[in-house]
Amino acid sequence: MQNLPPLDRDNSSPNQNQNSEKNKIVWVESEDVYKPIPKSIEDFKSEREISNTKKEKVYIATIALKHLTEHLGSNTTVEQGGILFGNAYEDPRVGIYVEIKSAVAAPSTIGTGAHLEFTSDSWQGIMDYAKNTHPQENIVGWYHSHPNLGVFMSGTDMNTQRAFFHHPWCVSIVCDPVRREIAYFLGAKAEHVNVVEFGGGHTHKIFF
């Protein structure tokens, strides 16, 4: 893949606009820099009726988790994936934390196709699709399946994380719909993190 400019760079360089059409698209996106919303984690949790006292960094709505697992469980012969939408927040005592409100499937025409794994090129297309179809939403990460491989960040996955999801609020969800495992990774280094599910009237670890 090509070297993509960082999404959050705000200093213009003269030859930036002389690049290919593909890089121009990235440049336009980079002008729309997303910033976390200041909010105390106590307020965030009480607004969503989250009663547990843990101060985790990732929160997912039950409806998003349901869509994601149904999508990934619908075909266990290929990797499937999609984009996570939501908001990032910042509490000076906790740092940045993220709310995942919805999960949108990548069309199979943009995804892996005949390939086994998503590549960075696939994700460029998926990101463009997501932004075009959900212009009012904020992308906070991505998800994909590892059918019967277990849940971890592969080398390809780390490249995708660094290229497109390197902000500290970006989440990668990896799910194995065969073994029924799921894991959440946060930020450019894809740190393995715990999650709190909300909005379903219950909190649980079971996802199918």
- Of 87 and 160, nearer to Zn ion (C-beta) is 160
Please report, for residues 137, 169, 186, the alpha-carbon distance to residue 56 in angstroms, rounded to integers and kept in the order given. Answer: 23, 12, 11
The DSSP output letter for 96 is E
Q: Which residue is nearest to Zn ion (CB)?
A: 157
- Of 46 and 119, nearer to Zn ion (C-beta) is 119
- What's the closest the beta carbon of residue 35 comes to Zn ion, in angstroms? 29
- 99 lies in the site for Zn ion, by CB under 5 A: no
- Of 99 and 157, nearer to Zn ion (C-beta) is 157
- 154 lies in the site for Zn ion, by CB under 5 A: yes
φ, ψ at 88 (rounded to 5°)? -105, 145
- What's the closest the beta carbon of residue 154 comes to Zn ion, in angstroms? 5
In the chain, alpha helices (H):
21-30, 41-47, 62-73, 120-133, 155-164
Give, in degrees to the nearest 5, the angle at Cα 62 between 59 and 67. Answer: 115
- 157 lies in the site for Zn ion, by CB under 5 A: yes
> How is residue 147 written in tokens?
């059918």
- What's the closest the beta carbon of residue 74 comes to Zn ion, in angstroms? 17
Q: Which of residues 3-22 bind Zn ion (CB under 5 A)?
A: none
Interface residues with Zn ion (CB under 5 A) are 154, 157
